[in-house]
Chains A and B, each alone.
Chain A
Amino acid sequence: MSGSRLPRLVGLLSLLLAACALPFVLSNFRLFQFSQVYIYAIAILGLNMLTGYNGQFSLGHGAFYAIGAYVSAIMMDRWNIAYGWTLPVAGVLCLVVGFLFGLPALRLEGLYLALATFSLALAVPQILKYFEHWTGGSQGIVLSKPNAPFGLKLNPDQWLYFVTFAVLVLLFWLGANLLKGRIGRAIVAIRDNHIAAEAMGINTALYKSLVFGVSAAYTGVAGALSASVIAYVAPDSFNVFLSVTLLIGSVIGGLASISGAVFGALFIQFVPNWAQDISKAAPWAIFGVFLIGFMYLMPFGIAGGIRLLWIRATRSRVPQEGRSAVPTQAHTTT
Chain B
Amino acid sequence: MDIFIQQVVSGLATGGIYASLALALVMIYQATDVVNFAQGELAMFATYICWTLIHAGLQYWAAFVSTLAIAFVGGVVIERVVIRPVENAPILSIVMVTLGLLVICNSIAGWMWTYVQKPFPSPFPENPFKFGNIVFGAHDLGEIQVTLLVLLCIYLFFRFTPLGLAMRAAAHNPVSSRLVGIRVGWMLALGWGLAAVFGAVAGMMVAPVLTLEPNLMGGVQIYAFAAATLGGFTSPGGAVLGGFIVGVVENLVGTYVGFIGTELKFTVALAMIIVVLLVKPTGLFGTTVVKRV
Q: Chain A residues in contact with chain B, CB under 8 A?
A: 51, 57, 59, 104, 107-108, 110-112, 114-116, 118-120, 122-123, 126-127, 129-130, 195, 240-241, 244, 247-248, 251, 255, 279-285, 287-289, 291-292, 295-296, 299
Contacts and interface: CB of A to CB of B under 8 A. Distances in A.
B82 interface: yes
A115 B229 contact: yes
Nearest to A124: B266
Contacts of A291: 96-97, 99-100, 103
B37 interface: yes
B96 A120 contact: no
Given A107-B277, A112-B277, A244-B99, A285 B91 contact: no
A97 B97 CA distance: 29
Contacts of B97: 291-292, 295
Contact of B96 (A129, A280, A281, A295): A295
Q: Which among A51, A116, A129, A292 has the greatest number of chain B C-beta atoms within 10 A?
A: A292
A282 B101 CA distance: 14
B146 interface: no
A295 B104 contact: no
Dominant SS among interface residues on chain B: helix
Dominant SS among interface residues on chain A: helix
A59 B270 CA distance: 13
A299 B93 CA distance: 8
Contacts of A119: 222, 225-226, 266, 269-270, 273-274
Interface in B82-128: 82, 85-86, 89, 91-93, 95-97, 99-104, 106-108, 110-111
B99 A122 contact: no
B223 to A, nearest CB: 10
Given A107-B277, A240-B218, 12 more contacts: A104-B278, A111-B33, A111-B95, A118-B225, A119-B270, A122-B218, A241-B103, A244-B99, A285-B104, A289-B104, A291-B97, A292-B104
A296 B265 contact: no
Contacts of B110: 280-281, 284
Contact of B99 (A107, A120, A129, A247): A247
A206 to B, nearest CB: 19
Contacts of A57: 91-92, 95
B264 interface: yes
The 4 residue pairs across chains A and B that have the minimum distance between CB atoms: A288-B104, A284-B107, A291-B100, A281-B111
Nearest to B35: A111
Nearest to B293: A195
Interface residues of B, number: 44
Contact of B85 (A115, A127, A296): A296
A285 B277 contact: no
Given A291-B96, A292-B100, A295-B96, A116 B37 contact: no
B2 interface: no
Contacts of A287: 100, 103
A115 B106 contact: no
Interface of B: 33-35, 37, 82, 85-86, 89, 91-93, 95-97, 99-104, 106-108, 110-111, 218-219, 222, 225-226, 229, 263-267, 269-270, 273-274, 277-278, 281, 293
B108 A123 contact: no
A119 B103 CA distance: 16
Given A107-B281, A281-B111, A289-B104, A295 B93 contact: yes
Contact of A296 (B33, B34, B86, B274): B86
A285 B225 contact: no
A109 B101 CA distance: 23
A112 B288 CA distance: 14
B236 to A, nearest CB: 17
Nearest to A291: B100
A284 B95 CA distance: 17
B48 to A, nearest CB: 13
B89 A116 contact: no
A281 B106 CA distance: 9
A249 to B, nearest CB: 12
A115 B273 contact: yes
B37 A108 contact: no
A202 to B, nearest CB: 17
B44 to A, nearest CB: 14
Contacts of B86: 295-296
Contacts of A112: 229, 277, 281
A52 B229 CA distance: 26
